[in-house]
Structure 1
């Protein structure tokens, strides 16, 4: 590898390396500051600031949310709850989903620029199982993108990286992310909207609500709907 090539590679990897370094540091230093307890302790300060400076509070909140997602910092769920607590279910859900999508796009672009394009090209030019996997993803990109967003078990961080590493286009990633996180975003924002009563009772919110039957079953139904085109393609090929 020539010196110029090595320099270009290092430059391309720099944004992704910065994100990884900040994520590691944040995991050890910010966990106690981005928590439900911290939100409960500062709720009056936050609501007062919102009431007196609504636009500034909104922009500050979204900026913090974007940074949390872009750098994979702990506290994304708390940020979503905070959006509901400060801005109600609507328009709080829209603010949460928009900020999460922007943050996801940032880490997607960093991964795509640093590794994705080269890795996707190598997979495209390879043979055997690797090429089949790449072709399978390419043939069902919309369905696969919606599935990894809708399935609660897929970590948000991985759902941002995988599309970048298999050559998904930016616009497909952005649209599928925004639409795919709407169900979960609305659920957790609505939980945040009811935090005032939870604080008054001295309780903690039910963050496992997404796995309760009345929430999980509709989400699984959406997953099945997203997977339907993949199933139909397989059936048509067999036929």
Structure 2
């Protein structure tokens, strides 16, 4: 005789296990926001710069692996300090290959939080949107139909918080491949800017100054980024124009 109680219990256990990664990320993120804000800072980098350089010079491969592992953890758990980590990548390894280490580590961290969110709330929310009516379903369908353009826009527009761009695609059922590729390519321009700033930190430290982190909003940086965003949005514009012509 089939036991419905056991089946319900098993289903509930599986549901709970699917939520564990997202719960862990939330708990670590909250803990990090309270206790790591001052630790993962520019001041910490400045005060420990000589020890970091000695560590890099002593074992370059280990330094690269350790740096990337730390960066992945920062992104995957949405900890404060991602910008400082990017600067550190430039400071320790130069613009190149520092930007490669930064982009790859940030992408891996983003993929991990994307998978955790999709395994937890993402699939349930995605199914709920599929069965819903009205504006909510239209939003999801719009993102699905134009996911490459939408994902690139999320990455290229500097006003969209990084963790939002990691979680939102999971909530609307975006494919893993599209998310990973657009993250890798979409964050590269901004990462290049901050990595290059990090590469020049030696002179900044020597002068007793702080880096200009608002550099990305300077016209000669922001305008090319907005141009890339506009290029990403072009398929959306073309589709909207075709749709209107079809209605007339």
| Aligned 1:112-123 pairs, distance under 5 A | 112-123=118-129
CA–CA distance in structure 2, aligned partners of residues 75 and 172 of structure 1: 26
Report the more deviating stretch, 177-186 or 133-142: 133-142
| Aligned 1:182-201 pairs, distance under 5 A | 182-201=188-207
Matched, 1:128 2:151: no
- Once the two structures are TM-superposed, the CA of residue 5 in structure 1 deviates from its matched residue by 2.6
CA–CA distance in structure 2, aligned partners of residues 26 and 131 of structure 1: 35
Q: Among residues 20, 36, 42, which one is paired with 2:42 in the alignment?
A: 36
Q: Among residues 42, 52, 57, which one is paired with 1:51 in the alignment?
A: 57
- Once the two structures are TM-superposed, the CA of residue 3 in structure 1 deviates from its matched residue by 2.6
The higher radius of gyration belongs to 2
| SS of residue in 2 equivalent to 1:208 | helix
CA–CA distance in structure 2, aligned partners of residues 105 and 88 of structure 1: 25
CA deviation map 1:87-137 (0-9, x unaligned) = 000110000000000000000000000011121112112222121111111
CA–CA distance in structure 2, aligned partners of residues 26 and 128 of structure 1: 38
Q: Among residues 135, 144, 153, which one is paired with 2:150 in the alignment?
A: 144
- Once the two structures are TM-superposed, the CA of residue 147 in structure 1 deviates from its matched residue by 0.2
**Structure 2, gaps ≥5 residues long:** none
CA–CA distance in structure 2, aligned partners of residues 132 and 169 of structure 1: 18
- Once the two structures are TM-superposed, the CA of residue 31 in structure 1 deviates from its matched residue by 1.2
Partner of residue 158, structure 1 = 164
Partner of residue 210, structure 2 = 204
TM-score, length-scaled by structure 1: 0.98
Q: Among residues 109, 119, 128, which one is paired with 2:115 in the alignment?
A: 109
Q: Among residues 210, 223, 231, which one is paired with 2:229 in the alignment?
A: 223
CA–CA distance in structure 2, aligned partners of residues 138 and 67 of structure 1: 29
Partner of residue 22, structure 2 = 16
**Structure 1, gaps ≥5 residues long:** none
Report the more deviating stretch, 126-135 or 174-183: 126-135
CA–CA distance in structure 2, aligned partners of residues 226 and 114 of structure 1: 30
Give the aligned length: 239
Partner of residue 71, structure 1 = 77
- Once the two structures are TM-superposed, the CA of residue 159 in structure 1 deviates from its matched residue by 0.3
TM-score, length-scaled by structure 2: 0.95
- Once the two structures are TM-superposed, the CA of residue 7 in structure 1 deviates from its matched residue by 1.7
| SS of residue in 1 equivalent to 2:51 | helix
